[in-house]
Amino acid sequence: MVSSSQDIRKAIEAKWNEYLSKYGNLFSSDSLSGTSPPSVFVGSYNYPKVNVGPMVPPIHGDTSLLDTPEKWIGKTLEEIVNYRLNLVRGIQKVPVSDPSGRYIENLQELAMSETATDSDIRFYKATSPVGLLDGYSAPFGPIGEIKSVKFSSSPSQRQIEKVYYDRDLLASDAVLKLYNSGIEISQIQKCFSIGMMGKKRKLVPTRWSITATDDIISKSLIDETLDYPLIDGVRVFHFEHMGNLFSVILFPYRWLYEMIEAWYSKGVLGFGSDHEDARGIDHPPEIAGAYFAAKLAVGEYLVRNQIQSGALVLREIRPEYAIPIGVWQIREGVREAMKQKPVLADSFGNALDVAAKPMSISTKEWLSHGFILKLMRQKRISDFF
């Protein structure tokens, strides 16, 4: 029997509170010594003057796993929640239009660091550990206003350094340069957020920088595929983790993309979707950052195989996904799906049935909340070029 979302949250919360009963003193102090993964965070509250600072756990050593989502496939929801709760967030208020001064420069050096970085922080008052998970907000650790902070010196990623000192490089070009040089997307997002890219630099709230980075990279990938030959058949990919079920259908068509999400809220099934063709999307997608995260993963597969196709991504969010942990899990989940051996289908209709089979939502329900069939029937001038 599958536990309810509330039961899962309560179980994770109980274990975390048990941990705090033993080690809570590490999270309740006006000072903190630990090793940042490295990690920085830019808030969005009170924009354009926002809370900015490092995230540091009260432990020393190689803490990189705590803030590297690319390494989290195979981890449980509880493990990832604990990673987030262990990170203490130091903050200072900074205008987004002025990413300068010694404090911001220190954070920029931290963001480009090649290794986890020892940190010492003093707060104006003691922080308090967090022990409440509501199922609506991503989990986060204690927060404290910084009085002073020191970071040990650590080697910087050379590729990031080059981008940082190139004031003539557009932010979008900087993102692509780092991505193509092999820098993890999660680190690119941090550098983007802390104002290290572009001609006119500014701080970008972390959640916005994540979506912007995925959007820039996914658009570049899809643009590249438009010169490739069409896929030679219909392929269906599956992957499931932490209560998220993904099915991806690739089919012979000039780039056409739709993502449909379905979720359960108090026993009621809800849907959201959005789509684009080779011209891209010209508005913020209804399903927000999930749209670009999945598109990026599909684009990587197409470029890797030097093919072009249409793509339909279905995501069913089960009650087991009791605590939201960020759109990284969509990008990494679809990436993992595209690594699996695909099921070959003899038609798009058959592929839809294959895609829906492991899910609790029928083919008819998925189609009634999407536009993919209507889009495929339409002929555009772009189809002939």
Least confident interval from 17-21, 268-272, 337-341: 17-21
> What confidence category does residue 4 fall into, taking pLDDT thresholds of 50, 70 and 90?
confident
The DSSP 8-state label assigned to residue 166 in this structure reads -
DSSP character string of 85-151: HH-EEEEEEEETT---HHHHHHHHHHHTBSS-EEEEEEESS---------SSS-----EEEEEEEEE
> What confidence category does residue 2 fall into, taking pLDDT thresholds of 50, 70 and 90?
low
* Paired sense of beta strands 143-151 and 117-123, if any: antiparallel
Report the distance separating Cα 165 and Cα 138, nearest Å: 33
Report the distance separating Cα 81 and Cα 79, nearest Å: 6
| Residue 260 contacts residue 314 (beta carbons within 8 Å) | yes
> What confidence category does residue 306 fall into, taking pLDDT thresholds of 50, 70 and 90?
very high
- Give the pLDDT score at 385: 43
Cross-strand partners of 88: 56
205-239 as b/e: b if 16+ CB within 10 A: bbbbbbbbbbbbbbbbbbeebeeeeebeebbbbbb
What is the tens place of the pLDDT at every residue in 132-152?
677 777 888 999 999 999 999
Report the distance separating Cα 141 and Cα 163, nearest Å: 31
What is the tens place of the pLDDT at every residue in 159-188?
999 999 999 999 999 999 999 999 999 999
What is the tens place of the pLDDT at every residue in 310-349?
999 999 999 999 999 999 999 999 999 999 999 999 999 9
- Provide the residue ranges of all domains of the chain, joining segments of one domain with +: 5-155, 227-384
DSSP character string of 198-219: SSS-----HHHHHHHHHHHHHH
DSSP character string of 288-357: THHHHHHHHHHHHHHHHHT-B-EEEEEEEE-TT--S---THHHHHHHHHHTTSPPEEESSHHHHHHHHHT
| Residue 289 contacts residue 205 (beta carbons within 8 Å) | no
* pLDDT at 383 exceeding the cut of 60: no
313-330 as b/e: b if 16+ CB within 10 A: bbbbbbbbbbbebbbbbb
The DSSP 8-state label assigned to residue 38 in this structure reads S
Report the distance separating Cα 34 and Cα 63, nearest Å: 9
Rounded to the nearest 10°, the torsion over CA 337, 342, 348, 354 is -80
Report CA torsion sign: 373, 365, 77, 38.
positive
Average pLDDT over residues 117-134: 88
Percentage of the chain lying above the pLDDT 70 cut: 97
- Number of H-type helices and E-type strands within the chain: 12, 12
Spatial CA neighbour of 149 closest among 17, 256, 54:
54
Cross-strand partners of 333: none
